[in-house]
Amino acid sequence: MDEKQYLILLVENNSGVLSRITSLFCQRGFNIDSLNVSTTDNPKISRITIVTHGDEKKFRQIIRQTDKLIESKMIFAVEPSFSLLRELLLLKLEMNSAEEIAAAEAVSRKYGCNIIDHSVGTLVLEFTGTPDEIDALLEDCKGFGILELCRTGVTALERGKVSYTLD
């Protein structure tokens, strides 16, 4: 059965490591729905969050193969029900009237967005939320005319005292 899979990798912050990891996904026929990469508190280590969907057996195989990469330090699947999943959205809307601005501001308040730019003819919203919340916000904004949008990709932390860091 095809289901969403969330994977966290801690890897050495080396040139080419991301390419090798994404190649493994491609070779196994997995599309990467979301990819988020950043350094950790240790600048020599990067944290990669990958969201994909697919068969559980193939997903476990990707985990095993990714774990064999020399740069891989830790790899684990994340269960969404025990985790905090967040994305950042920047959304530029076309604004042609005071009524549209008022309506966009109402949508912004509904979702708790920040209005980070109001230029002539446009309004830019900033929103952090779950992927489902971002999808709902985008649906509510379709009527305004979306000029541009940028999503960061999912980042995830497990709830509670679980800690995945390298010393």
Residue 75, strand partner residues: 9
Q: What is the pLDDT of residue 151?
A: 96
Per-domain residue ranges for the chain?
A: 3-78, 84-155
- Percent of the chain's residues with pLDDT above 90: 68
Q: Provide the pLDDT confidence category of residue 165 given band limits of 50, 70 and 90.
A: low
- In this prediction the pTM is 0.85
Q: What is the pLDDT of residue 80?
A: 86
Q: What is the pLDDT of residue 75?
A: 93
Q: What is the mean pLDDT of residues 98-115?
A: 96
Q: What's domain 84-155's superfamily in CATH?
A: ACT-like. Chain A, domain 2 (3.30.70.1150)
- Whole-number Cα distances in Å, 157 to 18, 94, 96: 20, 35, 40
What is the secondary structure of 33-101 as a DSSP string? EEEEEEE-SSTTEEEEEEEEEE-HHHHHHHHHHHHTSTTEEEEEEE-GGGEEEEEEEEEEEE--SHHHH
Fold match between domain 3-78 and domain 84-155: yes
Residue type, 133: E
Q: Provide the pLDDT confidence category of residue 122 given band limits of 50, 70 and 90.
A: very high
- For 36, other C-beta atoms within 10 Å of its C-beta total 19
- Residue reference for tokens 């969050």: 49
Question: What is the CATH class of 3-78?
Answer: alpha beta
